[in-house]
Amino acid sequence: MNLDNGCSASGARKSLSVDDARRIILDALSPVSGWERVAIRSALGRILSDDVIAPCNVPAHDNSAMDGYAVRAEDLSADTESKLQVVGTAFAGRGFSGIVGKGQAVRIMTGGVMPMGADTIVVQEVARPEGDQVIVPGGVRRGQNVRRAGEDLAAGAVALPRGKRMGPAELGLVASLGIAEVSVMRRLRVAFFSTGDELASIGRPLAPGEVYDSNRYTLHGALTRLGCDLLDMGVIPDRPEALEAAFREAASASDVVLTTGGVSVGEADFIRELMGRLGEVSFWKIDIKPGRPMAFGRIGTTWMFGLPGNPVAVMVTYYQFVMDALLKIAGLDPLPERPLVPVACTTSIRKLSGRREYLRGRIFAEDGIWKVRSASAQGSGILRSMSEANCFIVLNEGRGDVMPGDIVDVQLFDGLI
């Protein structure tokens, strides 16, 4: 696939909108090949490589949805009470072996198999037992409170489609079918490294001008939560030969390579140039704040994302571009929709038109009404603001300043981060 979208290694192309950048990325990608069989207890978070077909009906038998009495609807009056003889009891897992005849009823528990001859459940709250009889009020409808065999899933139906991500509900659904293993896509292999002579690894004192490398730990957490197999290549110094060797090693060992730093226009920013020389670069500038310099391309069959160096910009670009890209490559179908929620903002925000901004916000309830405020300082190097926030305040390209009381769009961290 040709990734040339008018962007050369010299960076002459104008920057892209957020929507265009997402479209270019997602249109270029396709799922990896390869799958494995895993036990359902090991399938949480994995993506199905094949449909799961129901081998049996769920439920397997007609059964009672409520505690009550199994009766024949033809024995009941539409308007007046009916008196029936109770001839037995049906429990969940231990049914009534006889046949419900004319004028008879069977006491039944939730999940109990419907006795032969019965077609309706009268809930115990409206029935009135009298010795070995039960009084049923008028107006009971035929078939009420009965769960039919195959009502949840019919034998031979697709229980879960290929591309579905396995969550707790999916694990339970597969278990309800008696299936012990499922086929899942292989885990995505992701290599990542930070660049910069100023970066120090944790565990040693900082030299003058150095800062500790936090980006690798941020990405390690995000990628681990996504279920990827990781290759952490550490900190690579700002030397072209070292960076080229790292790129070649990472590309040969992974499906995707993520880097942080070195994609701007400084004298020591070599990432974009190396990506273009070793492979292809689709774009490297986006109309977004924070995170304007972000390169996307590939080396051979390995996809490359050159993220900014500032910690908050790394997180914004990861969650707005990289995460869904990784999910698509991993085989998830369809990608999740993450709605923007309109909420009143309680703080003023300065905003220039022409780019989309993702500010860290704190959504909260006041007098039963949800509102949002800007969280802490908004500098792209202030990672504390991400920890204090629980949402992004998303201000689109045409938006100007925000005044207290104005409605803004909010993207919740819950389900995203």
pLDDT for the residue 273: 85
pLDDT in tens, 229-257: 999 999 998 888 999 999 999 999 999 99
- Mean per-residue pLDDT for 123-131? 95
- Taking 50 as the threshold, does the pLDDT of residue 268 lie above it? no
Write down the pLDDT at residue 198: 87
Segment 72-99 mean pLDDT: 95
Does domain 18-29+187-330 match CATH 3.40.980.10?
A: yes
Q: What is the model's pTM?
A: 0.86
Cα 148 off chain centre by: 32
Question: Which pLDDT does position 11 carry in this prediction?
Answer: 42
Name the residue ranges covered by the structural domains of the chain: 18-29+187-330, 36-57+162-185, 63-147, 341-412
Compare 386 and 383 and report the one with higher pLDDT.
386
Residues of the chain above pLDDT 90, percent: 80
Can you tell me the mean pLDDT for 152-159? 94
**Mean pLDDT for the stretch of residues 123-130:** 96
Residue 267 confidence (pLDDT) above 70: no
Burial tier of 387 (Cβ tally within 10 Å: 0-12, 13-18, 19+): exposed
| Mean pLDDT in residue range 107-132 | 96
At 8 the pLDDT is 43
Does residue 383 have a pLDDT over 90?
no
The CATH architecture assigned to 36-57+162-185 reads: Alpha-Beta Complex (3.90)
Highest mean pLDDT, choosing among 212-216, 261-265, 266-270: 212-216
Average pLDDT over residues 186-206: 91
Question: Is the predicted pLDDT of residue 412 greater than 80, yes or no?
Answer: yes
- Domain 63-147, what fold? Molybdopterin biosynthesis moeA protein; domain 3 (2.170.190)
**CATH for 341-412 (1.10.3720.10, 1.20.120.80, 3.40.50.300, 2.40.340.10):** 2.40.340.10
Q: What is the pLDDT averaged over residues 206-215?
A: 90
pLDDT, mean over the chain: 92
Lowest mean pLDDT among 12-16, 65-69, 269-273, 284-288: 12-16
pLDDT in tens, 320-345: 999 999 999 999 999 998 899 999 99
Q: Is the pLDDT of residue 83 over 70?
A: yes
Return the amino acid letter for 145: N
Q: What is the pLDDT confidence band of residue 124, given thresholds at 50, 70 and 90?
A: very high
Helix 240-253 and helix 271-278, axial crossing angle in degrees, nearest 10: 50
HSE on the CB side for 365, CA within 13 Å?
A: 2
